[in-house]
């Protein structure tokens, strides 16, 4: 019984998952370029900058900020297909009720809306960099707060994936056991950045080593590792269900 894969012919189900993984892989490469191109990340802007300093920054780097934010806007949510594949694979787990898959999906939708909003705040600040500096400052603040701190949805995603793998302990488990512990470790690495909304300097501030670098590297590592893991998982599904065309 492979509940969850019967809504499409099996061959195309495997093929769509492979296309989803490639979509995310390509989007990830483009996002890394945009990430490298955003002047606000090198180094990440301090919460202690004044309104005039922030406005000057946006005026000096308008073109690169617009380029990176438009690219984030276009490709950020294109990471979503990989998370869709995780949902499909979680629903293939035979030893449980599938409840973790539904919760994972719900958290995935919410976390995507939040990323999309952060991008809009940054991009709006760069749209008219000659605006009143007080307005540029508040848009920049809102962008940083929303970009870094709301990790609660990612925590739920990773904890649900870990719980699902832990409970998928029958023969023919979908994922290797270590993926569950890895997912939990990523959650633990991302959690402290929630503190960034209460700190204006130091490692927990939104530009800090923990809140910014540890969080973003953990998330990036999660996407890369899961792409590799899922590639094998989907391949295994195609082997289990017969060759596909």
Partner 1 sequence: MSVSELTPDDEKATAVADSAAPASKRDLNIVFWIFPAFFGVFGIVFVPLLRVIPPPRPDVGYAGMISFFEAHHTTIRIGLVLLCLAFGGAAVANGYVAYQMKRMTSGPVFAYVYMGGMAVGVLPGMLLVAVCFDAASMRLDRAPRVVGFLYDLGMLSFNGSLGCFSTAYLAFAIAILLDRNKIFPKWLAYLTIWQIVTELLATMMWVLPAGPFAWNGSMTFWLGTAIFAIWLNCQGLMLKKATDQQPAGTRPPE
Which residues contact partner 1 (rule: CB under 8 A)?
1, 3-4, 6-7, 47, 94-100, 102-107, 109-110, 113-114, 117, 134-135, 137-138, 141-142, 145-146, 149-157, 160, 163-164, 167, 169-171, 191, 194-195, 197-198, 200
CB 242, min distance to partner 1, A:
18
CB 33, min distance to partner 1, A:
27
Count Cβ atoms below 10 Å from residue 108 Cβ, excluding itself.
20
CB 98, min distance to partner 1, A:
5
CB 99, min distance to partner 1, A:
5
Question: Half-sphere exposure (CA, 13 Å, Cβ side) for 112?
Answer: 17
Question: Residue 205 or residue 228: which is nearer to partner 1 going by CB?
Answer: 205
CB 6, min distance to partner 1, A:
6
Question: Residue 3 or residue 36: which is nearer to partner 1 going by CB?
Answer: 3
Rounded CA-CA distance 195/216 in Å is 15
Length of the chain: 245
Rounded CA-CA distance 187/85 in Å is 19
Question: Residue 78 or residue 194: which is nearer to partner 1 going by CB?
Answer: 194
One DSSP character per residue, 53-100 reads HHHHHHHHTHHHHHHHHHHHHHHGGGGHHHHHHHHHHHHH-TTS-SHH
What's phi and psi for 157, nearest 5 deg?
-55, -50
**What token pair was written down for 2?**
């492979």
Query: Residue 111 is inside which H or E element, if any?
Result: helix 99-127
Question: Residue 119 or residue 141: which is nearer to partner 1 going by CB?
Answer: 141
41 forms beta bridges with 44
What's phi and psi for 44, nearest 5 deg?
-55, 135
CB 39, min distance to partner 1, A:
22
One DSSP character per residue, 196-223 reads GGG-SSSTTSTTSIIIIIIHHHHHHHHH
Question: Residue 37 or residue 135: which is nearer to partner 1 going by CB?
Answer: 135
CB 164, min distance to partner 1, A:
8
Question: Residue 1 or residue 245: which is nearer to partner 1 going by CB?
Answer: 1
Question: Residue 4 or residue 37: which is nearer to partner 1 going by CB?
Answer: 4
């Amino acid at each position: 019984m492979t509940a969850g894969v019967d809504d499409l012919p099996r061959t195309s189900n495997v093929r769509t998952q492979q296309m989803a993984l490639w979509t995310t892989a390509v989007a990830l490469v483009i996002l890394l370029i945009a990430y490298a191109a955003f002047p606000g990340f090198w180094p990440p802007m301090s919460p202690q900058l004044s309104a005039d300093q922030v406005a000057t920054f946006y005026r000096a780097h308008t073109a690169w900020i617009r380029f990176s934010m438009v690219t984030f806007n276009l490709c950020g949510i294109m990471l979503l297909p990989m998370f869709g594949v995780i949902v499909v694979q979680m629903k293939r787990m035979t030893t449980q009720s599938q409840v973790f898959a539904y919760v994972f999906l719900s958290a995935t939708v919410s976390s995507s809306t939040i990323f999309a909003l952060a991008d809009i705040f940054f991009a709006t600040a760069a749209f008219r960099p000659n605006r009143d500096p007080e307005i540029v400052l508040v848009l920049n603040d809102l962008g940083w707060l929303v970009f870094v701190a709301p990790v609660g949805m990612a925590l739920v995603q990773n904890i649900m994936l870990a719980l699902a793998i832990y409970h998928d302990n029958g023969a023919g488990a979908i994922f290797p056991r270590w993926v569950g512990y890895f997912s939990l470790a990523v959650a633990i690495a991302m959690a402290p950045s929630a503190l960034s909304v209460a700190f204006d300097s130091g490692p927990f501030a939104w530009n800090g080593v923990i809140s910014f670098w540890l969080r973003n590297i953990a998330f990036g590592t999660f996407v890369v590792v899961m792409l590799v893991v899922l590639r094998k998982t989907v391949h295994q599904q195609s082997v289990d269900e017969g060759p596909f065309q």
